[in-house]
A and B are shown apart, each in its own frame.
Chain A
Amino acid sequence: MSNPNNVSLNINHELSFIDGHALTIPTLSILNEEGDIYEGATAPDIDKATAIRLYETMRFIRALDERMQAAQRQGRVSFYMQCLGEEAAVTASAAALDQNDMIMAQYREQAALRYRGFSLDQFMNQMFSNEKDLGKGRQMPIHYGSRELNYMTISSPLGTQIPQATGYAYGQKVRHIDAQTGELNSTIDNITICYFGEGAASEGDFHAGLNMAAVHEAPVIFFARNNGYAISTPADEQFKGDGIASRGVGYGIKTIRVDGADALAVYAATKKAREIATTKGEPVLIESIAYRLGAHSTSDDPSGYRTKDEEAKHKGCPIERFRKWLLKQGWLDEAQDAKDKETIREEILAALKRAEKVEKPALEELISDVYDKPIPSLQKQYEELKEHILQHPDAYPTTAGRLK
């Protein structure tokens, strides 16, 4: 091996350290608050249908978030997480992908799932953990997943999806590698995008996942949502370096930072990242900067850890910014938009009422899917439990009446 240490040896005879903030990282910004393209910026090539779908997704998610936050306060669902302020980051990045690309999200990316076509009833059934939930009522609200839509089921432990995304993307690449040369023999048809927060980037899995993606050249887009807070912990108590983007360089990964409230910048960056991943077969890191306008979840109140002044400084709405651009493009009818918003609210309320009434999963679902088939000891435990429930039906009203 000609370079056993795998470093660039720039011999220097003067003692000097590189500063911890030596890197200058630009932030890509295309659309201003007024919905105009910045001077010198180039709008990405986005057709009307995609732009409208992107907008409608953000509009829907904002309405869903508002309604479900309220539903939690009313005690109708146990938990909820809003995407407030990050709608453009999540939706525009999803819009830049192929429908068959895998999405491995953290938890606040419901807009990406909606963009793919997850129905209102599917959202509701998951949140009410009823028998129509694809996840069979096993996880807390907002832990969505859909094989049909290539959206990996959300897992609460933070950062675990990062090295998994590397492995999944590697699987997508394997058949495109020439066994003799080890080089790509064709463009990779589908890749993986992996979302995570700046807080989750402190987990060991972040390091493992990015380093392995770089070394094994996995076609994965790491999308860091730097929204300033991990529950209550501000980013300046999370890391000392220049955001998450500075780390990409350390791993030898092509990196870009974008204004995450700017749908066009996010779309442009993700589109390009996808092109790099599919043609070069290597990972890309995107750091999106967008302030988390809401709480972490319904379980915390931001007034306990940040000031109203700070919140006022970041009140810019990413949806409104994109809407202004759409209006200037002549692609959106304002009166129709107002009417649609009203319809969406009504539909959400109706779906919520429907989902509330659907039964909980049957008792069998307690033991199914632990293994591909229930193992004998588990089957025995199930029979014993069933017997017990039949003896005390009043204590187990959810399942007792439906037991055969």
Chain B
Amino acid sequence: MAKMNMLHAINSALDITMAEHPNACIFGEDVGYFGGVFRATSGLQEKYGKHRVFNTPLTEQGILGFANGLAAFGAPALAEIQFADYIFPAFDQIVNESAKFRYRSGNEFNVGNLTIRTPYGGGIAGGLYHSQSPEAYFAHTPGLKLVVPRNPYQAKGLLRASIKDDNPVIFFEPKRLYRASTGEVPEEDYSIELGKAEIVQEGTDVTVLAWGAQMEIIEDAAKKAAEQGISCEVIDLRTILPWDVETIAKSVTKTGRLVVSHEAPITNGFGAEIVATIQQECFLHLESPIARVCGLDTPYPLALEKEYVPDSLKVLAAIKQSVEF
């Protein structure tokens, strides 16, 4: 065990992968000698060579096109998109190519070796174009897996699992927590199974669900609720696609209430999918309408970021409303 922040943990997962596969390559904008704008790939070029850890030209569609080809060849392709806000030029390569590679070829070819890492989310005064949470766009695409870690331990284990998984995975990294979140992380290799949510805190009155950076917010809200005598069951979804319906449904069957929270705009956010499925699975057990605490339906703001975000006060209000319904 060692004390690591999330960047160290991600770096460690990448390091293990590079040592394991002689063909694995890490590439993206500024990931080479500089080690990435957040320094997640620090030191890896020196260790594995310029031919395996390299800067690409500034072309997201090119990075993903290249990554699809490299993965189809059979090499672990570890692509970085510098900010999730800039992933859209690569949308076609991800949605029409990565996601459909296996299906359209009848499994003659696949890009299971592809892992896309990209920092997402707000809280760094990044405004419209350094704050977005675009997971829902990709959640509408069969063939992809989407993973979001909440802390360094989770980040390393989930990233290793994403890399080893034989499907293309988008790994969304909560950039607000890159350095802010620290914890004990094993130096050796380990994986955390994809597609499994984790009950972070057991409770009886209401289930509160989130993922990634939003976990810190709902845990804070749950603590405040506890002070007011409300027992929250706090769950980290961890994998958005495919998501763990069973764990959530079981929890809501027990508590009878659900609050879902994400930073992305509420309309058609992934919370909508969760709500639709859980009302179907748990209809007769529900004691109150399922609540969503999300971003407003606006582009991500700058000066009014504090007002925009689904903070712990807003989550707490929803928890109380749900319990008092």
At the interface, yes or no: A109 with Cβ under 8 Å from chain B?
no
Would you call B75 and A171 a contact (CB within 8 A)?
Answer: yes
Chain A 163-192 interface 0/1 with B at a Cβ cutoff of 8 Å (1 = within): 111111111101101011010000000001
A345 → chain B closest CB, angstroms: 29
Would you call B106 and A169 a contact (CB within 8 A)?
Answer: no
A157-B92, A205-B61, A376-B242 as given contacts; A145 in contact with B105, CB under 8 Å? yes
Residue of B57, B68, B74 touching A164 (CB-CB under 8 A): B68
A397 → chain B closest CB, angstroms: 23
A135-B105, A372-B167 as given contacts; A211 in contact with B51, CB under 8 Å? no
Would you call A166 and B22 a contact (CB within 8 A)?
Answer: no
| A148, closest chain B residue (CB) | B108
Would you call A169 and B69 a contact (CB within 8 A)?
Answer: yes
At the interface, yes or no: B70 with Cβ under 8 Å from chain A?
yes
At the interface, yes or no: B283 with Cβ under 8 Å from chain A?
no
Chain A 5-34 interface 0/1 with B at a Cβ cutoff of 8 Å (1 = within): 000000000000000000000000000000
Q: Which residues of chain A from 129 to 171 have a CB within 8 Å of any chain B CB? A: 133-136, 138-139, 143, 145-147, 152-153, 155, 157, 160, 162-171
Q: Which residues of chain B from 105 to 144 have a CB within 8 Å of any chain A CB? A: 105-110, 112, 142-143
A204-B61, A375-B195 as given contacts; A167 in contact with B105, CB under 8 Å? no
Would you call A134 and B106 a contact (CB within 8 A)?
Answer: yes
B33 → chain A closest CB, angstroms: 12
A143 to B61, CA, bound (A): 23
A143-B104, A164-B69, A174-B51 as given contacts; A157 in contact with B96, CB under 8 Å? yes
A251 → chain B closest CB, angstroms: 10
Q: Describe A's contact surface by its main secondary structure.
A: mixed
Number of A-B residue pairs at CB separation under 8 A: 172
Residue of B61, B100, B108 touching A146 (CB-CB under 8 A): B108
A180 to B49, CA, bound (A): 7
Residues of B within 8 A of A216 (CB): 54, 56, 66
At the interface, yes or no: A215 with Cβ under 8 Å from chain B?
yes
Would you call B73 and A167 a contact (CB within 8 A)?
Answer: yes
At the interface, yes or no: B62 with Cβ under 8 Å from chain A?
yes
Chain A 269-307 interface 0/1 with B at a Cβ cutoff of 8 Å (1 = within): 000000000000000000000000000000000000000
| A163, closest chain B residue (CB) | B65
Chain A 198-238 interface 0/1 with B at a Cβ cutoff of 8 Å (1 = within): 00000011011101100110000000000000000000000
Chain A 356-393 interface 0/1 with B at a Cβ cutoff of 8 Å (1 = within): 00000000000011111001111000000000000000
At the interface, yes or no: B85 with Cβ under 8 Å from chain A?
no
Residues of A within 8 A of B93 (CB): 160, 163, 205
Residues of A within 8 A of B103 (CB): 138, 369-370
Would you call B105 and A207 a contact (CB within 8 A)?
Answer: no
At the interface, yes or no: B72 with Cβ under 8 Å from chain A?
yes
Would you call A153 and B104 a contact (CB within 8 A)?
Answer: yes
| B-side interface size class | 35 or more
Residue of B51, B72, B167, B245 touching A168 (CB-CB under 8 A): B72
Residues of A within 8 A of B187 (CB): none
Would you call B59 and A208 a contact (CB within 8 A)?
Answer: yes
| A135, closest chain B residue (CB) | B106
Would you call B69 and A167 a contact (CB within 8 A)?
Answer: yes
Residues of B within 8 A of A215 (CB): 56-57
A138 to B100, CA, bound (A): 11
A201 → chain B closest CB, angstroms: 14
A182 to B33, CA, bound (A): 15
| A-side interface size class | 35 or more
Residue of A138, A164, A177, A180 touching B66 (CB-CB under 8 A): A164
Would you call B72 and A208 a contact (CB within 8 A)?
Answer: no
A163 to B57, CA, bound (A): 12
At the interface, yes or no: B67 with Cβ under 8 Å from chain A?
yes
Would you call B74 and A171 a contact (CB within 8 A)?
Answer: yes
Q: Which residues of chain A from 304 to 349 have a CB within 8 Å of any chain B CB? A: none
Residue of A145, A160, A167 touching B77 (CB-CB under 8 A): A167
A145 to B103, CA, bound (A): 12
A153 to B56, CA, bound (A): 26
| B241, closest chain A residue (CB) | A375
Residue of B61, B70, B167 touching A208 (CB-CB under 8 A): B61
Would you call B108 and A153 a contact (CB within 8 A)?
Answer: yes
At the interface, yes or no: B25 with Cβ under 8 Å from chain A?
yes
Chain B 83-101 interface 0/1 with A at a Cβ cutoff of 8 Å (1 = within): 0000001001100110010
Would you call B108 and A167 a contact (CB within 8 A)?
Answer: no
Would you call B104 and A138 a contact (CB within 8 A)?
Answer: yes
Chain B 277-312 interface 0/1 with A at a Cβ cutoff of 8 Å (1 = within): 000000000000000000000000000000000000
Name the residue among B23, B97, B105, B110 with the largest chain A CB count within 10 angstroms: B105
A208 → chain B closest CB, angstroms: 3
Residue of A136, A155, A168 touching B97 (CB-CB under 8 A): A155
Q: Which residues of chain A from 260 to 276 have a CB within 8 Å of any chain B CB? A: none
Residues of A within 8 A of B189 (CB): none
A169 → chain B closest CB, angstroms: 7
A138 to B50, CA, bound (A): 40
At the interface, yes or no: B52 with Cβ under 8 Å from chain A?
yes
A29 → chain B closest CB, angstroms: 33
Would you call A135 and B65 a contact (CB within 8 A)?
Answer: no
Would you call B51 and A179 a contact (CB within 8 A)?
Answer: yes
Rank and list the top 5 A-B pairs by shortest CB-CB distance, nearest first.
Answer: A163-B65, A167-B69, A208-B62, A171-B73, A164-B69
Given contacts A160-B93, A376-B195, 15 further A-B contacts (CB under 8 A): A138-B103, A155-B104, A163-B64, A163-B93, A167-B66, A167-B71, A171-B73, A174-B22, A179-B49, A205-B92, A215-B56, A216-B66, A369-B103, A376-B246, A377-B245
Please list 17 pairs of residues, one from A and one from B, whose beta carbons are closer than 8 Å in the complex, sorted by A's number. Answer: A133-B106, A138-B103, A145-B106, A160-B93, A164-B97, A166-B62, A167-B71, A170-B25, A177-B51, A192-B69, A208-B66, A209-B66, A211-B62, A212-B65, A368-B107, A375-B195, A377-B242
